[in-house]
Amino acid sequence: MTEETTLTPDINQQRFSFVAILGAPNAGKSTLVNQLTGAKVSIVSPKAQTTRSRIRGILVQDDTQLVLVDTPGIFKASRKFDRAMVASAWSESDESDMRLFVVDVQKGITREAASILAALKKNKQKAILVLNKIDLIAKDRLLPLIAELNMRGLFTETFLISAQSGENVAELKDYLIQHASKGMWMFPSDQITDLPNRLFAAEITREKLFMNLQQELPYTVAVTTTNWEEKESGIRIEQTIFVERESLKPIVVGKNGSMIKKIGESARKELSYLLEQPVHLFLTVRVKENWANDPARYAEWGLDYNI
Ligand SMILES: Nc1nc2c(ncn2[C@@H]2O[C@H](COP(=O)(O)OP(=O)(O)OP(=O)(O)O)[C@@H](O)[C@H]2O)c(=O)[nH]1
Ligand SMILES: [Mg+2]
């Protein structure tokens, strides 16, 4: 506590901004949020549409606090649950002081990227262009992409980064800090995310499902933390994994329980590391048809059910 009072600047000196991170699925938005905050606040996987809702990472430097709003990759949504995600992403963008538009340089202007560009234009929103994954292609191949994107008059600045290795991320961070507005901090100086522990722990397990299950399967699962007990021997966490159909259950459980064991083991290890104490994790797999249409699921994530 004493440390916090020394770190939090005088109210008159505080600077504060929301920064929305937009971009096509898989562009590296969550990786960037983690790199900027220097912590794991948002889960990352090689599969597109990993982030399901708004996740906030909080960054403090000197007098400035930035809230980085990671959003789901925006795409033409057909499922209601997905439409709720898209709506949530755009409302964050509307309310933000600054916006980053993240592009995977290897993929360039995909259909999804183009639809975000169109929406930015329609909403008359300016953004900072962040060309990501520059570790994957030769620098001279970037020039046509930079030129084409900047023709649109939407961007105030361009950064070329690798969110994964951290290349040029410090420059981007400095720029954001310098352009923050005057205003009161919204969070204590030592807080790195506004996601409650129970949701965060469920996200870690969901990341392991994304890593271990094949193809479309991860999109049909949801994870909820049902019990959280802090004991002297560590934290006891109970979670339920919901699958949409009976036939999917054996795939998640695996032969003789091998898959669920593997997923539980890697989630437990990471949670122990991140929470800095022993974790005992208990996973149950349940069938719940249409979990994606369950109002409770929307409420848990702050999504609008009546979209
Ligand atoms: N080589 C390379 N890979 C990266 C970089 N940034 C992210 N990735 C990888 O790209 C994949 C997608 O990264 P995410 O951060 O999950 O992407 P996202 O934009 O949050 O994706 P959604 O949540 O699905 O919208 C992961 O496998 C990352 O490890 C980078 O700078 N270089
Ligand atoms: Mg993401």
Residue 69 within any structural domain of the chain: yes
Same domain flag for 31 and 161: yes
Same domain flag for 118 and 7: yes
Residue 192 within any structural domain of the chain: no
Q: Is the CB of 25 under 6 A from ligand 1?
A: yes
Q: Is the CB of 162 under 6 A from ligand 1?
A: yes
Residue 183 within any structural domain of the chain: no
Mean pLDDT lowest among 21-30, 94-103, 246-255, 285-294: 285-294
Each residue's pLDDT tens digit, 144-174: 999 999 999 999 999 999 999 999 999 999 9
Domain boundary among 178, 205, 228: 178
Residue 255 within any structural domain of the chain: yes
Q: Is the pLDDT of residue 1 over 70?
A: no
Alpha-carbon gap, residue 159 to 172, rounded angstroms: 7
Testing ligand 1's pocket by substitution, the residue of 22, 42, 164 carrying the most ligand atoms inside 8 A of its CB is: 164
Give CA angle at 216 (215, 222), nearest 5°: 125
Domain boundary among 178, 205, 225: 178
Same domain flag for 163 and 219: no
Mean pLDDT lowest among 58-62, 86-90, 138-142, 158-162: 86-90
Each residue's pLDDT tens digit, 98-108: 999 999 999 99
Q: Which pLDDT score is estimated for 205? A: 96
Of residues 84 and 207, the one with the higher pLDDT is 207
Report the predicted TM-score, pTM, of the whole model to 2 decimal places: 0.89
Contacts of 3 (CB under 8 A, 6+ apart): 190
Residue 292 within any structural domain of the chain: yes
Of the chain, the end-to-end C-alpha distance in Å amounts to 42
Question: Nearest-CA neighbor of 239 among 210, 278, 277, 267?
Answer: 267
- Residue 192 CB-half CA count within 13 A: 14
Residue 214 within any structural domain of the chain: yes
Q: Is the CB of 218 under 6 A from ligand 1?
A: no
For ligand 1, the distance from its centroid to the CA atom of residue 211, given in whole angstroms, is 13
Q: Which domain holds residue 261?
A: 197-300
**What φ, ψ does residue 154 adopt, rounded to 5°?**
-100, -15
Same domain flag for 143 and 259: no
Residue 219 within any structural domain of the chain: yes
- Please state the rounded mean pLDDT for residues 4-18: 81
Q: What is the CATH number of the domain that holds 219?
A: 3.30.300.20
